[in-house]
Structure formats: C-alpha cells, structure tokens
Amino acid sequence: MIRLRPMLVTDTTACADLDREITAKPWSAAMFAEELELGSLCLIAEPDDHSLAGMAIARPQLDEWHLLTIGVRPEWQRQGVGRRLLAAVIRRAETTDFRSVMLEVRISNKAALHLYQAMGFQPLYRRPRYYRGPDGWEDAWVMDFRTGKKSTLRAGAMAPEA
C-alpha cells in the first residue's frame, strides 16, 4: 500500500537519486531542499517498506500552482502512484482557491501526456526548445488544469491519505 506524506529534508537525497534514475536533467538534493525552504508543496509516495516510490513538487505562483516535478520509480509506474501524487497537487490548488495547476511536459513523454490528459489537463501551447537532452533540444507542451467549483478530478483519481 502507498501512502502520501510531506517530504522531509532527510528525503532530499533519495529524491535526487530517483530523479537521476528517471530524467535526463535531474534535480540535486539541494534543489529539493530549496523547495522545502520556499514552502512549496513537496510530497512523497511511500510504500509500506518506507522506501521512495515517487515524489511531486508544486509551487504557488500568482494565481496558479506550477507542477515543477513529478516522478515515479520504474517498478511503481502504472500502479496509480503518479495519479495519486497529481490528484494531491490538484486538491491543494482547489482548497487554496487557485485557478489552475500548470505544467510543462516533453512532447515525447507519451506516458505522462496520457496521465495528464486522463486527469483533465488541457494543452495550452507548444513551447519550442524547452528541454535539453542528449540528442539536442525538445519542445514541451504547456498544459493546465482549471480548478473551481465545477472542476472535478477525472474518474480513477484517488484521494491522497495525507
């Protein structure tokens, strides 16, 4: 069973290790720690063995929450961990009266695009040459989820425990 909990400073090294495992341009432990200091929403998905299954960080900016990073360890992918983390970010935006959750995603990241669209995110526009990778630059989709009284998470989104 997975539970969501707030990230602690002691989690930052494990988060950096996970990010190195799953992304081309990983965050350092210091970057995760800085988001904690800034008061960003920093969440950990933790299985019963207290290891790290996934993490998400979002920061309030003006009238929206910006999803800065979300990642799930490969052995936990396609098991609802990313969906639960994303649902928790959306719920925070809704309970704090922000108008939207915004994110950028690589156009080649089909699994993430599928998840975001299934959760109700809409593409706003394409941002050219946003991500740098081993094969050069890649465009990003800028997407958002509109919050409000009429907004609801799409079917299958599970409420966080924390």
Could you state, in order of their start, the residue ranges of all structural domains in the chain?
A: 2-146
- Asked if the model's pLDDT at residue 153 lies above 70, the reply is no
Task: Report d(CA 83, CA 39) in Å as an integer.
Answer: 22
Task: Report d(CA 58, CA 145) in Å as an integer.
Answer: 13
Task: Report d(CA 86, CA 99) in Å as an integer.
Answer: 16
Inter-axis angle of helices 110-118 and 81-95, nearest 10:
50
For residue 81, the SS3 value is helix
Task: Report d(CA 15, CA 2) in Å as an integer.
Answer: 16
Residues with a known catalytic role: 104, 116
In a 13 Å sphere around the CA of 134, the CA atoms on its Cβ side amount to 2
Residue 119 identity: M
Structure confidence at residue 31 as a pLDDT band (50, 70, 90):
very high
For the domain spanning 2-146, the CATH number is 3.40.630.30
Q: What is the pTM of this model?
A: 0.87
Q: What is the pLDDT of residue 129?
A: 86
Q: What is the pLDDT of residue 36?
A: 97
Structure confidence at residue 159 as a pLDDT band (50, 70, 90):
very low
